[in-house]
Amino acid sequence: MGSEERGPELTPAVGREVPRTLFTETIRCPECGSNSLNVTAYLVNVKFFGEIVLESGECSSCGFRHGDVYLADYGEPVRFEVKVTKESGDYLLVKSSSATVIVPELGIEITPGPAAQGYITTARGVLERVAEVLSGICREDVRCAKKLEDVDKALRGEIGFTLIVEDPLGRSAVVRVQDCADLDRST
């Protein structure tokens, strides 16, 4: 796709713990360029991922909304490659703003840009976002419609797909939902 991600989606895997405010600062807005993007960062402990930083903010000049999610303890580049099939079940991911998400079979590539967002989602959640974008832009385009059809097939579990998440800053993570459930039972 090569399109840039928009819109924070912070809710699904966030634990019940009260978030601790890490910092509040005003930075340059990637959208309008003025120094009026007010960002607040929270530290939360999310089961299976550990400590995670949630950033949210809004530009007081243009209304641009910033949202990011990343592992508090990061550093080395990471790369995850998983096969998502009916048998494997779904995967949960912390996709930071510096991550690239690729689904080779479906020709999907979500690359980070200056206004990129981070969010917690699932492998299916990634496809749902793509399907939403495609259904808005496809119209008469046959190739686009075919792609949307394939994404829908993957969402229905009729075809498996590969999910690749690369983060040069090591701020992202991918875990299998079933493994979380197993771990949950054993603790």
Positions 64 through 103 that interact with Zn ion (CB under 5 A): 64
Binding segment toward Zn ion, per CB under 5 A, in 2-10, 22-30, 93-101, 115-123: 22-30
# residues near Zn ion by CB under 5 A: 7
- Residue 29 near Zn ion by CB under 5 A: yes
- Residue 32 near Zn ion by CB under 5 A: yes
The structure tokens listed for 163 are 């999910």
- Residue 162 near Zn ion by CB under 5 A: no
- Residue 22 near Zn ion by CB under 5 A: no
Question: 164 to each of 70, 83, 112, 179, how far by Cα in Å?
Answer: 17, 9, 14, 18
Other CB atoms closer than 10 Å to residue 73's CB: what's the count? 11
Question: What backbone phi and psi angles, to 5 degrees, belong to 94?
Answer: -95, 110
Q: How far is the CB of 59 from Zn ion (least distance, A)?
A: 3
Q: What is the four-CA torsion angle of 49, 50, 51, 55, rounded to 10 degrees?
A: 20
Q: How far is the CB of 80 from Zn ion (least distance, A)?
A: 33
Q: How far is residue 30's CA from residue 167's CA, in Å, rounded to a whole number?
A: 20
Applying CB under 5 A, the residues found at the interface with Zn ion are 29, 31-32, 59, 61-62, 64
